Structure formats: C-alpha cells, structure tokens
Structure 1
Amino acid sequence: MNSWEATTYNNDLVREVFGNLCIDKTRLPSSGLSSIGVPSFVAEWLLDKIVPGSGTLTSIELEKIDSFIKKAFPRKDDRNEIIFDLTQGEIRKLIALMQVRIKLEQGGKVIPEPLAQIPVLNLTECSIATDIVERYKILLRQGIWGKITLAMLPDGKVEVMDFEPFQCSQVDLQGYAECREKFNTQQWRDLIFCSMGFNPQHPSYQQEAKTWILARLLPLVEANYHVIELAPKGTGKSFFFENISSKVTLISGGKVTPAQLFINGRTKEVGLLGRHEVVVLDEVQSLTFDNPEEMIGPLKNYLASGRYNRSGFADISSDCGLVMLATALPAIMQYSFSYCLSPNIAFSFEDVPHSCRKCCNIELDDQLEPRNEDNLIANLPKFFAETALLDRLSGIIPGWKIPKFQKEMIASQVGLKMDFFGEVLLSLRQDNRFRFYVEQHTKFAKNVTIRDQNAILKSASGFLKILYPHLELTLMDYERDCLEPACKLRQAIRNSLYYLDEEFRQFLVEKFMWRQSKY
C-alpha cells in the first residue's frame, strides 16, 4: 500500500499492528514526568508499567504517578538524605541515569574495579559488580536509565547492589518492516511523526514542514551523518533529541572543549563523539572555543573519515553523527512582543526596523524567509565559514519552514513508544540494503562532486529507512520522498560554498542535475 492521499489517523490500526510497542501519546503530557526532567523514552516505559491504558490520566492514575515520583525519583538535594539512610543500613531503590567508568592508575599493579556514576546525586565512585557491567555494557558508553538498588559497604563506600534497565535493547527489523506493510505511505509518515511527539493532524504541519521535521531523524538512521538546522526558537528542534534515547546527547551553547568532545588527555577518557550515537550542539551561534585550531582540526578529520586523535593517542573510530542547531528570529520576536502588547493591534513586518530583522544567523525578508538563502551560514561563528568543514556536512535543514511548537501540536494519537522507536532508528544504521537501493536508482550529472554525491545518497538512504523500511516503493515514491529532499539539503551547503570560496564557483550555483533515476 503506497497511496499518497491524505488519510485520517487510524489509532486502531496502530494498536492492532504494534500491540504493546505503542502507547497513547496523551498519557505523557499530564503525568508530570517531563516536568521533573524524565526523558520521554523513560517516561513512556514507566507509564505503561504503572498506569497502562489510554486517554488522559485520571485523578487516581495521577495520584499513583505522583506517589511513584516522590518515592523513586531523586532530586539533587536528596543526596545527603539518601546517603544518611544508607549509613543506617537501609537499602534505597531509585530511578536515574547510571554510567560506569574504569579508573586507570599509571603503573598500577592491581586491575581496577569498575565504578558507577549517578549524575543526579553527584555520586561518582560507587562500587558495582562486574557481572552487572557484563550484562549491560552500554553502561560503559553513554550510560542507561534504570532502577538502581543502593546499599552501603562496611568501608563506607556506596554500592550498586542491583540494576534493571528501562530501555528497549532488542529490535526485530524484519518484523518492523512487516508492520510497515500494513500502512500506506501517508499513514506511516504520520505514525512516525506522532512517535516523535508531534501531532500529525495539526493544520500547521503541512507536508513540507513534516518532511523537514522527519529530517531530524537522519542522524539516527545513518551512521556518521552530520547536519545543521537553522530554525526559530520554539520549533521543537532540541525537544526531540532530548527525549529519544540516552545514546543521543545534547550540549547547549557555551564553551566546548576538545577534552569534552574528543578525548581527555589527563584522564584518558574518550569524549562524547566516541561514546554516543549522536551528539547535538544546541545554540551553536553562541559556541566558543579556547583554542579553535585544536578543535577545528580534529573535527574536520572526524567529519571526513569518522576517526580522530588527540594528545598522542591512537586514532579513535566512531560512527557518531554530529547535529548543529542554530536559532533564528529572536530579534523580530523580541521586537514584536515589545511593540505589540495587545493581541488586537495589527502588526506588519514592515513596522520592524531593518536592524531588527537581522538575527544571529538569518536575515529575513517580508515573508519571513531568509533574505540570503544562498548563504545561510553568513552570520554564524567564523569556523562555519571554513569551506573544508562546511563541505563535510550533508545538508542544512530549513527550520524556518517549520511552525512554532504550541501546546495543541503535541501528539495526541497512538504512536510508537519512544524507547522502542529510538532503538529501531539506531538499528537501521547497520542495514546496507538501503544504500544499495539508492545507488542503483540514482545517477548524477557531471557537475556533481563526489562529496555532493555521497551526501545526497546518505540523506536519500536515510529518508528511505524512515519512510520505506520494507523497501516496497515506486521510483516516483523514491524521487518525491527521498531523493528530492536529500538534494535540497545538500543544495543549501553547495550554495553557501559557492559564495564563500572561488574554488567552488567552477561548479556554478544553479541546481544540479542530480535527480535522474535509472529505470
């Protein structure tokens, strides 16, 4: 079934096909779990265990959740109370993110024991049995959320006695593909959209907006996929990445160090790029580096090859994707709020002084479109203007085409549970059939560089995994849903390169003939 006609969202079909792998998305907003910092991939798992059902939570269910939160979720200021209870011989059970690290001593003669870290309580050296680490080796990477049982050892050291992870760990991709066969293309697109946390039936989410929101999934389904999104505040660009999986990490603005991103020369601990599947740099327009050369050099190498080295260490390989999010439109937003305090006052873009139309990265025209769409990174930090770095990115997501996120845009249908959904997306990275398909069905004109081709094929493969995991589609489906948006993503990079460096002007700036499929 590949009908493109608009359809009504079919909750019953989703339940029938996916069973206990789906959840009514209206459950989470009223639960209070998000307000205490619990990501959706954990919260939905808990809701289904504690108060299974559908529809908005009842008062009885809310009381049950509230009681559970108070009992199981520690706050930072609970640390001393928990440690006191442990010293009195109590066993405490709590729900939190836990990581495990091995502390190496130079010239040490004893094999070091693993040490558990519970960030929310600022506990960094908890004893933990090696058999727990053996069972859940993801603890050694980015860590995992779960139910942690704590006790105090006679020597005064906190011990992790037991651990039960919450996240889905096994995915049947063949079964997932068979489930896809039960939906037409529009139904499936809306299911994926809903599973991300967005309401597919909201009138503001037209087809183009949905496409660019779905493009946020590309770094999860494609290994070493690197992209920029330029979007206004409030479009939900960081919301999704914060809630999909503990294998995705987000750094918000400020200063980023080589030790944080690559490897810590003092502790020898591998950085974020080596431990996560996707690293998201939010508010990149405010990023600063103490030593830009020390950061940009390894970063360019990594974007090109998937490897990096630092401080004399051997090369580290990783398939982690890098996502850079930049905010647009803050100046006009501030101006409109200052001068239009009453909703009854008509407001025109022409009323805004020209100086206020230019924000940190995009200057807008009268239709709130980028004034210089051919050079979108002109006002970003200087390191973005280095063409050797920019050319290594697969594309720029046009976030100004995505409407601002409002309460009624939250998903209210039945979608896939976030923990299952995240694991499916990441598991699709390993399936090479999609890359083979796009290579067989795409050819490029002579004016398309190898980097252009690789970027387009990677994006097209990603859209194929997202929308057609069963690989049953027509060439028209492929060109419309996969290849065309892939080309638009890369075109934004090519246009900027053209204006930044004379070397790229030999390729001209018009759209390349890269959408010819083999029949």
Structure 2
Amino acid sequence: MSEIENGMPDIGAPQQSDLDYKINLLFPGVVVRKDLVKAVKGNAIVPSYVLEYLLGQYAASDDEATIQAGIDTVRKILAEHYVNRSESELVKSTIKERGRHRIIDKVTVTLNEKADVYEAEFANLGIKGVIVESSTIKAHPKLLVGGVWCICDIEYFHSDDQRFVPWILGSIKPIQLSKFDVDQYLEARRGFNTAEWIDLLMQSIGFNPELFSRRGKFLQLVRLIPFVERNYNLVELGPKGTGKSHIFSEFSPHGMLVSGGEVTVPKLFVNNSNGRLGLVGYWDVVAFDEFAGKKKRTDRALVDIMKNYMANKSFSRGVETLGAEASMVFVGNTSHTVPYMLKNSDLFDELPEAYHDPAYLDRLHHYIPGWEVDIIRGEMFSDGYGFVVDYIAEVLKSMRSQDYSDRYQQHFTLSPDISTRDRDSIHKTFSGLMKILYPSGEATRKELEEILRIAIEGRKRVKDQILRIDSTMAEVKFGYLDKEGTWHAVATLEEDEYPTYYHRARKGTEPDEAPANVGPLGAPTSADAGGPDKIAQPESELFQGHQQYQEGQRGVSYDALLVPYLQGASQITIVDPYVRMFHQARNMMELAEAIARGKDPADEVALKLVTVENQDGPEKLQKQYEYLVQIKQSAAVLGIVFDVQFVEPQSIHDRSISTDTGWKILLGRGLDIFHRMSDSPFDLATRYQKYRELKAFGITYLRTSENIDQGIDG
C-alpha cells in the first residue's frame, strides 16, 4: 500500500530537472508541481483544474517551504469548504449555526419563468431554489448550462413562510483565471526549444514526457486542438484506459464532457419551447464520451442538426439561424484490433449506425488513432512542473480567434487532388498545432513539415475509411509538394503496417490473402526471421497420439508443441489449475503470444482459461488477479480475447487444451513444463523457450468431431 493510502503522503520534492528549473524561471507563479494534485485531492471528487486553481494561489513555486505551506493551506481550504455529498447535512448545519459559510461546489442555475427569477442548485450540498441576481448570470452565463465549479458564500435565514427558501447566495466566484499577460507568455515561450516546450506541455497535461515517443506526445497534443481552434471536429476511437476523455473532463473550465447517450437537441443546440441555447452556445468544447456502440439508439434529427452545425457552424432556432464556436469531440472504445477492422469493415466500425454515415464522417477534421495510445499506468504521471491548467486553458482560449493555417505555404503546397473539405480539415489541424507549439507563428521549415504531415495523416485516416463506405467518392492522393517540386506522400501508420487489408477493394469485396509470413504487428514470424521456433506443419501431417518428454530435455517450445494444433481455431479453452505464480502466468502470456504469431493478424481468437484461485492467502490471490488482468490487456492488442473462469479444484479432472476445430490436447503438467530460469536478460532461455530445460511430462493429441469437452464437470 502506498504512503498516501496509509494517510502519510510523501510530498517531498523530487529531484528538479534542468527543464523544471527553466519552467519556474520563465513562468513564475503560473506553474505547479503536478504530483501535488494527488497529494491534496484525498476523497474530493473535483476536476483537476479546481485543485490546481487553489494550488496556483498558494503553491505555485519551486521553494519547498512555500510548497509545503501552500499544500497545508489548500488541504485546510478543502477540509473546511469543499462539500462532500456524504457530509452535506453537516455543512448545512454549519451554515445555519454560523449564519454564513463559504463553500466549494458545482452550481447550476435555471430560470423560473413563473416567478421571473434565476434559481441555483448546488450539486453536492443538495439545495436548490437559491435566488441568483441577473447581474451574476450576465457575468457568468455558463451557470445556465452544465454547471460551473464555484467558491460561494451561503447565508441562512429562516422564515415562517413555507414558500421562502432559507438559503441566500451572498457571493459567487467561478473557479477560473480572471486574466493573464499574453505578451509575457509569448516572450517566455522563446526561451524554450521545441523539444522542451513539448515536454512542458506534456507535464502540464500531467504526463511524464520521458515515457512517450515523439509521435506519442503529438497524439496527446492533438487532443488540445479543440480548445485552441474554433469549430474543430475531432474523433478518437481506441481501447479502454488510454485517457481519451481525461482532457475534456479535467483539463479546462471551458470544456464540457457529456455522455453520448444523454445528448438531445435541446440540451446541445436549442430548446425551441423557450428559446434557451444549449451547450454549443456557451462552451468552447463539447466532448461526447462513450460515443461508440453499434447498438446505441440515436436521434436522427440530432444527427442531421449536428451534421449541419459541424459543416456550417450554425443551427436554427425557429425562424432564426444562430452561429456558435464550440468544437465537437467524439471519443469511444473499440472492441477489435486494427487489422480485424480493416479486413472486415472500417475504422469507424464501432460507431452507432446513424453516425456511420459518409456525410457525417466527412465533417470530421482529424482521427486520432487511439490504438497507438498506451494504456495509462501509474508511472506515466509526471512529478515535474507544468502550467496551472486554468492558466494554459485561458491561453488556448485567447488564441481561438487567430488563424495560422497558411504558415506552411511559404515552403509547401498541398496535393491538387485534395478537396476543399479535406483542405479545410488539414488547415484547421495545422493551425491548431501551430498555436499550441509555436504561438508566435514562427517555426522552421522542418517544424512546419512535421505538423503538416500530422495534419494530413489525421484527415487521410478519415477520408480513406469514408472511401470504403461510399464507393461513389473519388480517390484522393494525400501529400504535398515542396518548393523544389519534390512530391512527399503521406501514409497512415496502419497503412504501412497492414497494407494488404488497408488497400483492399472497396465495399462489398474481400481483400486478397494476407502475406503468408506476416506476424501480428506486420513483422515476420520467428520462422521467417531465422528464429528458433519455426512452425510449418500442414494440419494433415500433425501427429496424433501420446508423446513423452524427459527431465532436463531442451529444444521444445509452445510454437512447436502446441501452436500447430491451435492454428485456425477461433475458440480455445485451456484447463489448468496452476496459473498462479509469476512464472506460471508468464507461461500463459507466452502461449497467447505464440497463438498470435501463428494466426492471421486480422482474425480474433477467444482464449479461455479455466483455473483455480490461489489458496495461499489474500496477497498472493491479489497478485494472481493482477497477472491475469495484465495478460488480458496485453493479449487484446494482438487480437486475443482472453477470459478467465475460476472453478473449484475438485471439478478439474484433466489439464487440457480444446479447440473448436476438434483438437484436444491432454497436458500432463499443464503449461508448467519448464524449469524455473534465471531473470538475467542475457540468458537466452528468457527469450527462447527451446533453450529452457524441461520437467518430465507427457502430452496426448486427440482429434475428434464431437463438441469441445471443457474438461470440467457440468
């Protein structure tokens, strides 16, 4: 258990890097050490920007004494003023007894037309009907849509009139920066080279830049474009746990994250019954979480209005046409690997049917390949310095009106094949990245080319998938010419990794056969790479019967022993009660890897493990769970859908592997056929199974036409 979980958080200063020193030197007072948010958050369910707003007031320094004092102050403020829902009655009592008390809560205001007054509702405190002055609404109109985190003074005055609400709003201050110096920001930016500036932005988001590649950093920065670019339409689909929605819920007070299933026309655009504007009229960014899901019900009218808004930046309110600047972001999870989607459908396959429409998709400016983004792990978070998020949020907001889309044209020209809509999409992405990375508008030719390629690739990913859906659309040659007349083609990464499936014929046709010797990630299998685990037996020649192996024997691997019998299977069941310890879990992972190497990368295999829970105490049981969860996450990347069923020990008769192709393999020792080896990275046995010593074991191969016997009762 961590020290924080023990109630004794260690907030001692980490070793300050040269970059951290420069950040504090050039941006004094508007940066904060990013690990402090976790140190003060406790059980307060508030966005990061709320906590960083407070830290920015009291702990925006690199002086350890100031930081410690600031943390104590912020903790005290949270303890005394943050309203925890479970303690709302206690806070109400405090207000009543004191007559006045300051709180931190999320406030939403509605107009009571009958009484002609604005009334506030406090999310955590659980009170509503609190009168709000019209001047407050004019100053902070976002209170009317979605709610805003605020610091409020609440007063209590009881009346015998039952219609009278005893709660009185004394003062209200939304938690966001009031002003900042643009010139100072631009001047300080000149003190950083591009690599340093990117790392500062990564730390501002909350990530340790050392754990990300250059491309990985850019994928994170593209998520910021909707905050700096008006009417920017972004989509990101990928596996769970990659932080797709984090930016839009935690990063900025100008963004609103809503559930994709909760969106309605009145909530998003306008309520025609009372004329009240929806979210797009007040927020810079509206992000739709959990947007994917083929079977999700959708409102066709909403889709049509959304398409018009995304294309024309306007929508209708009765006879009146209104414009808005809100960017639209759509994030959702994928349930298949990239080659599977490319072979069987397209990269928009997970979207609800109403949105799987070329007219809607063509309005998306950029597609972030979420499958390239790492699943978030604890060590990926930064303990370095970054901008207080409401500061960088205000910086980005202030630049929304600027246009840097033409800055590349002094060096490059887009392909004449590219349509107006494609060109506009590329320009908006390019302009957004320019404002984020080079806010003064000055960049070298190499730097301009780097972000131009990213902008083209993101739009190409959108257009190439539309071409699969709508065969009437013309092919587009994505790329650019330099001033010397040299052509530079741009490809997506998945196009280079899976060319067979990416370049398949248009909708309704099957792709050619995949290259014979291509592994799960487009690399040659070990057989073709000269590796030690070559497998090339046709199924008709596979051995049937019993085989015995001796203690200390070498030269055996799962690739040769098991995989030839598992090839072509879409469902594989492994019955083994001993997948508990680290080396046993590693055996399981290596078998999953071997199966992945032996299958078509576009196919998916359901791999089920029937096993027994570790009986040696709760700590070892927890470790077993952790190992199996990690296998599930890692195998999913390779198209292996790993599942575990825990049963009672007495229900397992034989350790076995069964397939839906009719093979059953009886395993005398289960998967645990190797002696424990050293952990040295220089021991070949850690890399290749055939160099490991075996335990004595027997194995029997049976081919049947019956249903798969799972090897357990019932």
TM-score (norm 1): 0.81
Alignment partners' CA distance in 2, 1:265 and 1:288: 29
Query: Deviation at 1:305?
Result: 0.8
1:230 aligns with 2:201: no
Number of equivalent positions? 463
Residue 54 of structure 2, aligned match among 36, 46, 57: 46
Residue 438 of structure 2, aligned match among 460, 468, 471: 468
* Structural mapping, 1:347-358, within 5 Å: none
Greater shift in the superposed pair: 317-326 or 470-479: 470-479
Residue 210 of structure 1, aligned match among 195, 217, 226: 217
Greater shift in the superposed pair: 318-327 or 117-126: 117-126
Partner of 1:324 in structure 2? 330
* Structural mapping, 1:139-218, within 5 Å: 139-140=143-144, 143-153=147-157, 154=159, 155-202=164-211, 205-218=212-225
Query: Deviation at 1:192?
Result: 0.8
Structure 2 residues not aligned, in runs of 5+: 1-16, 486-714
* Cα deviations by residue, 1:204-257 (Å, 9 ceiling, x for unpaired): x11111111111011111000001101222212212221112221112343432
* Cα deviations by residue, 1:401-457 (Å, 9 ceiling, x for unpaired): 11111111112111111110111112110123x134346655332211100000000
* Structural mapping, 1:248-287, within 5 Å: 248-286=255-293
Alignment partners' CA distance in 2, 1:273 and 1:372: 37
Partner of 1:479 in structure 2? 449
Given residue 445 of structure 1, which amino acid in structure 2 is its aligned partner? S
Partner of 2:466 in structure 1? 497
* Structural mapping, 1:14-25, within 5 Å: 14-25=23-34
Alignment partners' CA distance in 1, 2:75 and 2:415: 60
C-alpha change, 1:304 and 1:483, in structure 2 (3 Å) is same
Native 8 Å contact 2:28 2:61 kept in 1:
no
Residue 445 of structure 1, aligned match among 415, 423, 438: 415
Partner of 1:334 in structure 2? none
C-alpha change, 1:56 and 1:444, in structure 2 (3 Å) is farther
Alignment partners' CA distance in 2, 1:24 and 1:414: 4
Partner of 1:315 in structure 2? 321
Residue 299 of structure 1, aligned match among 302, 306, 315: 306
Alignment partners' CA distance in 1, 2:197 and 2:75: 34
Alignment partners' CA distance in 1, 2:381 and 2:481: 35
1:390 aligns with 2:368: no
Partner of 2:694 in structure 1? none
C-alpha change, 1:248 and 1:169, in structure 2 (3 Å) is same
Query: Deviation at 1:371?
Result: 4.5
Greater shift in the superposed pair: 187-196 or 471-480: 471-480
TM-score (norm 2): 0.60
Alignment partners' CA distance in 2, 1:258 and 1:31: 39
Question: Percent identity of the aligned residues?
Answer: 26
Greater shift in the superposed pair: 372-381 or 205-214: 372-381
Given residue 427 of structure 1, which amino acid in structure 2 is its aligned partner? S
Given residue 154 of structure 2, which amino acid in structure 1 is its aligned partner? L
Alignment partners' CA distance in 1, 2:180 and 2:310: 28
Determine helix, strand or coil for the equivalent of 1:96. strand
* Cα deviations by residue, 1:321-369 (Å, 9 ceiling, x for unpaired): 11111113xxxxxxxxxxxxxxxxxxxxxxxxxxxxxx2xx4344xxx9
Query: Deviation at 1:388?
Result: 0.6
Larger Rg: 2
Given residue 424 of structure 2, which amino acid in structure 1 is its aligned partner? N
Structure 1 residues not aligned, in runs of 5+: 1-7, 329-358
Given residue 14 of structure 1, which amino acid in structure 2 is its aligned partner? I
1:420 aligns with 2:420: no
* Cα deviations by residue, 1:305-331 (Å, 9 ceiling, x for unpaired): 111125x36323211011111113xxx
Alignment partners' CA distance in 1, 2:155 and 2:292: 45
Q: Which has the higher helix share?
A: 1
Higher relative contact order (CA 8 A, sep 6+): 1
C-alpha change, 1:287 and 1:165, in structure 2 (3 Å) is farther
Determine helix, strand or coil for the equivalent of 1:503. coil
Native 8 Å contact 2:104 2:150 kept in 1:
yes
Q: Which has the higher strand share?
A: 2
